[in-house]
Amino acid sequence: MRTAVLAAALAVAAIVTGCGGSPGTPGPPSAYLGTAADRTVPAGIADLPLTTDAGQPTSLRAWRGQVVVLADFLTLCQETCPLTTGNLLVMDRAVTAAGLGHRVRFAELTVDPGRDTPSRLRAYRKLVGAPANWLLLTGRPAVIDQIWRYLGVWYQRAGESSPPGTDWLTGRPLTYDVAHEDALLYLDASGRVRFTVVGSPNATGAPVAPALRRFLSAEGRANLSHPDASTWTAEDALAPIAWLTGHPVKPATS
């Protein structure tokens, strides 16, 4: 139901845009998808040091000049984060097919800096097949907290289930979990936050790589098969990219 309503709203928005602006220029995304903003990221946040999975230093400021799609995640999440990654992979293919690969950057920033070291991020990259141009990011816990707090994304350490889950990389029992909000933030080429999507990913209509399917827990497989009404699809999430680049982006056909 939500997807049908969203599609109708986006169609109306496209008609309005076509009447009032340049023909074919994508308009703002529907409010059914998320929340529009025009929020500066101050130097005190933009310059905080982050580290890539390759161990290289970076920061939010380093991405200026590109539209950035930023998602929160942790590598030990096997319920929703892999589905977010799966949708982002679909979106990346669509952006590349539209000739916008040099203008759009996808980034996943951990909410579990105590465990998500660069080496673990590299293992996750290999596991999910993330392209080389993707940013998988970590940093000092205080830095991660400052960034996500400013961007309005909630997370907190939580107790592990009983019996505890198993770390897919080390095979050891897990000692804690991280509860978190599922969010996508879109930064424009000047580094301003322009749109936010909050809700679980709906990957039922997108090809989910076998490696990602195998990685999902039982709860994750249930989320894949039966997403709830607050979910967003890869096709939905392309609308803010089209708006910020001024270029239509259609889902890749293969």
Between the CA of residue 156 and those of 69, 165, 171, 179, what are the distances in Å?
A: 22, 18, 24, 5
Contacts of 190 (CB under 8 A, 6+ apart): 64
Give the separation between CA 240 and CA 26, rounded to whole angstroms.
9
Confidence of residue 227 (pLDDT cuts 50, 70, 90): confident
CATH-assigned architecture of domain 33-245? 3-Layer(aba) Sandwich (3.40)
Q: Is the dihedral of CA 203, 207, 209, 214 positive or negative?
A: positive
Q: What is the pLDDT of residue 179?
A: 96
Q: What is the pLDDT of residue 172?
A: 95
For tokens 């905080």, the residue is: 48
For tokens 């579990």, the residue is: 112
pLDDT tens figures, 19-35: 334 557 899 999 999 99
Give the separation between CA 86 and CA 90, rounded to whole angstroms.
7
18 has pLDDT over 60: no
136 has pLDDT over 60: yes
Overall average pLDDT of the 68-81 stretch: 94
Q: Give pTM, 2 decimals.
A: 0.87
Instruction: Give the chain's radius of gyration (CA, Å).
Output: 18
Q: What is the pLDDT of residue 207?
A: 67
Domain residue spans of the chain: 33-245
pLDDT tens figures, 86-130: 999 999 999 999 999 999 999 999 999 999 999 999 999 999 889
Q: Could you give the percent of the chain with pLDDT greater than 90? A: 69
